[in-house]
Structures are given as C-alpha cells and as structure tokens.
C-alpha cells in the first residue's frame, strides 16, 4: 500500500525521532538508551507504550537504541508522554551528534575503562547539550573498553578506546625459558630476545593482558588511558579512523577533545560531508593540531552561533 502522509510531514516527525515505515502510514519510534543501559522500570514502560500506542513490536538497533514499530501520527504525542514518565526520550536522527554507543567496559574481563560512565557524560554534554547545533552531516561516537573493538570505535566519526599501557621493569626479568608475558600477549609484542623479554612498542596495542602475568613482577603496573580515533565511518565506502598521537589519562581531557572535534567539524566541514572526508580534505595533521590545541574553544560561541 502507498502512504497517504506527505513527504514534508515524514521529514518533520523524523526530526522528532519517528522514522517512516515504508509503504505504510505508520512509523518506528527511536527510543534512546543514553549508553545502552536501561532499568526494569524503563523496559516495562517501553513495553506498555508499544502495546498501547503501537504494534507491540520492539526492535533493537546497532546504535543501542530501541525502535517501537507501528506508531501512527495520532498516537505520537501520547507515546512520547508515556515514555517521559520513565525518563526516556525519542530522537537520534538528523545532521547532528548522534546517540553514543559503548561496550560493557569494566564488566568485561578485558575492559580497561568505565565505558558506561564516559558514554553517559558524552551523551549529556554533546547529544543533549549540542542537540540544537546542526552539523554538516551526522556525527557518530562510540566508546570501547579495550582494543578488541567490539563496538568498532574506529569506524565511527569519533571513537574512544580504553588503553592499558604496561610498565615493564626490565631489570627484574630473569629470562625464563617459557615467558608468561610472551605467552599471553595476543599481538606477539612481548618476545624473549637473548636472556631478556622485550616489548615492541610498535606492535603493542595496550590491551593490558600482560600486566601482572610475570611471576617475578617484570610487568607489575599499568597506566590506564584513552586513545581517540578520528574520521571513521562504515557503509558503502568504509573508512577506518586514525588515532591521535596521544594517550589521554583523564576523562575530562577526552571530553574536551570531543568538543573541539565537533566544533572544528561545524566550522570547517562542508554541507553533506562526513567528518572523515573533511579530514581527508584538510589533512589529518592539520585536524590533529587543532583538536589537541585549545584555540578553537575561544571561538566556540561564534562557531555555534554562525
């Protein structure tokens, strides 16, 4: 069946978070989860709203949102009001910062950082706080707890990956015949060379699995931090993001860098141009210098108000 709803109306409600179901007069409501985590009360609220105002079907997206299918135009406001009772909102569309995705973080055996906490801060500061700021295109952010890249941070416009930088005490190494550190390293970065174990920094991805594995405490400590990738995206023509040449050790520095990247994108991106294509056009070194310095923050008001 063909829809009877006008294209202008479809565009209008899409901006509110209701995506048209092709060939029908109904929509899917995109329900945000902030960081992929919801409470029992929120789950029950979504189920109630789906049964009362939609088809009853709830699907899950790759961006950690829920989509309630079969919402009609006449039920949209009641649907939104029902979700608001549990602190839930509809959205996540348009040329702006999109909802953040994150992995399990420190609830996973490999997690180096609290991804839930960082993703929530990014959501509040840049999804909510920058919601009225139009960008050249969508801007996706992902937070991963370790280099396993389960949520593919390097295939987002901006990705954060938790790091665990090993501190190697070479003097303590006794050159065991079978090196426990070498055995556990997934990248082959730790190798016994002569009578000592060495860590090849070029191969090390800072996953942290070697920390504490040496029985003589040759790798006893670690520095936990964050690596930021810029300019990735997926789709018909994918592009892997490029890491900044810095490992941040403070979450506030990460948030500041995210803000500078968004501001630079708004200021220098062309309409319809993804962040990665802007980086390719300007040169990564140019973009890296801008987001690692603070000059752009002084232009924040004029950039946002332009």
Mean pLDDT of 118-123: 98
Q: For 264-276, write each residue's pLDDT tens digit.
A: 999 999 999 999 9
pLDDT at 293 over 80: yes
Q: Quick one: what percent of the chain has pLDDT higher than 70?
A: 100
Question: How far apart (Å, rounded) are the C-alpha atoms in residues 20 and 103?
Answer: 29
Residues 267 and 200 in one domain: no
Same domain, yes or no, for 133 and 261? yes
In a shared domain, residues 137 and 204: no
Domain range for 137: 101-163+225-305
Tokens of 234: 């997926």
Is residue 130 located within the same domain as residue 49? no
* Tokens describing residue 291: 């987001």
Residue 1 has pLDDT above 80, yes or no: no
What pLDDT sits at residue 256?
Answer: 98
The residue whose two tokens read 């232009």 is: 299
Q: What is the pLDDT of residue 306?
A: 84
Nearest to 232 by CA among 299, 280, 191, 292: 280
Q: Domain containing 70 — which CATH number?
A: 3.30.70.3340
pTM confidence score: 0.94
* 231 shares its domain with 254: yes
Task: Return the pLDDT at 204.
Answer: 96
Both 153 and 57 in one domain: the answer is no
Q: Is residue 111 part of a domain?
A: yes
**Do 45 and 157 reside in the same domain of the chain?**
no
Q: Is residue 208 part of a domain?
A: yes
Q: What is the pLDDT of residue 282?
A: 98
Domain at 192, CATH number: 3.30.70.20
How confident is the model at residue 19, as a pLDDT?
97
If one counts the domains in the chain, the total is 3
Q: Is residue 276 part of a domain?
A: yes
- 159 and 200 share a domain? no
CB under 8 Å, gap of 24 or more: what pairs does 35-38 form?
35/64, 35/100, 35/102, 35/115, 35/116, 35/119, 35/120, 35/123, 36/64, 36/101, 36/102, 36/116, 36/119, 37/116
- Both structure tokens of 22: 């092709």
- As a whole number, the mean pLDDT across the chain is 96
Least confident of 121-125, 174-178, 205-209, 247-251: 174-178
Exposure string for 231-260, b = 16+ CB within 10 A, e = fewer: bbbeeeeebebbbbeebbeebeebbebbbb
Do residues 53 and 184 share a domain?
no
Q: pLDDT (tens digit, 9 = 90+) per residue, 141-150? A: 999 999 999 9
Condensed to tens digits (0 to 9), the pLDDT of residues 196-245 reads: 999 999 999 999 999 999 999 999 988 999 999 999 999 999 999 999 99
129 and 237 in a single domain? The answer is yes
Q: Based on the domain organization, do 106 and 143 belong to the same domain?
A: yes
pLDDT of residue 222: 86
Mean pLDDT of 98-125: 97
Indicate the pLDDT class of residue 63, thresholds 50, 70 and 90: very high
Is 92 inside any structural domain?
no
CA distance 218 to 202: 19
**Per-residue confidence band for 132, with pLDDT thresholds at 50, 70 and 90:** very high
């Amino acid at each position: 069946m063909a829809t009877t709803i006008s294209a202008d109306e479809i565009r209008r409600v899409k901006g509110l978070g209701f995506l048209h179901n092709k060939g029908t007069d109904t929509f899917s409501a995109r329900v945000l989860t902030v960081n992929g985590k919801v409470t029992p009360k929120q789950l029950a609220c979504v189920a109630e709203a789906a049964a009362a105002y939609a088809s009853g079907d709830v699907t899950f997206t790759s961006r950690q949102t829920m989509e309630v299918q079969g919402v009609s135009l006449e039920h949209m406001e009641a649907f939104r009001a029902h979700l608001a009772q549990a602190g839930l909102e509809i959205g996540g569309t348009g040329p702006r910062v999109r909802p953040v995705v994150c992995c399990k973080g420190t609830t996973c055996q490999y997690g180096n950082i609290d991804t839930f906490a960082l993703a929530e801060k990014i959501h509040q500061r840049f999804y909510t706080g920058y919601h009225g700021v139009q960008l050249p295109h969508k801007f996706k952010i992902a937070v991963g707890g370790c280099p396993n890249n389960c949520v593919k941070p390097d295939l987002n416009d901006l990705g954060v990956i938790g790091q665990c930088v090993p501190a190697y005490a070479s003097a303590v190494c006794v050159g065991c015949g079978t090196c426990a550190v070498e055995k556990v390293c997934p990248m082959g970065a730790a190798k016994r060379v002569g009578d000592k174990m060495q860590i090849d920094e070029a191969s090390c991805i800072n996953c942290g699995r070697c920390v504490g594995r040496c029985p003589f405490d040759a790798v006893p400590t670690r520095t936990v931090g964050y690596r930021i990738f810029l300019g990735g995206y997926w789709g018909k023509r994918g592009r892997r993001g490029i890491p900044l040449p810095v490992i941040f050790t403070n979450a506030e520095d990460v948030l500041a860098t995210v803000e500078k990247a968004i501001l630079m994108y708004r200021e220098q991106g062309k309409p319809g141009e993804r962040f990665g294509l802007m980086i390719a056009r300007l040169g990564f070194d140019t973009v890296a210098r801008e987001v690692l310095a603070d000059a752009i923050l002084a232009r924040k008001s004029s950039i946002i108000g332009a």
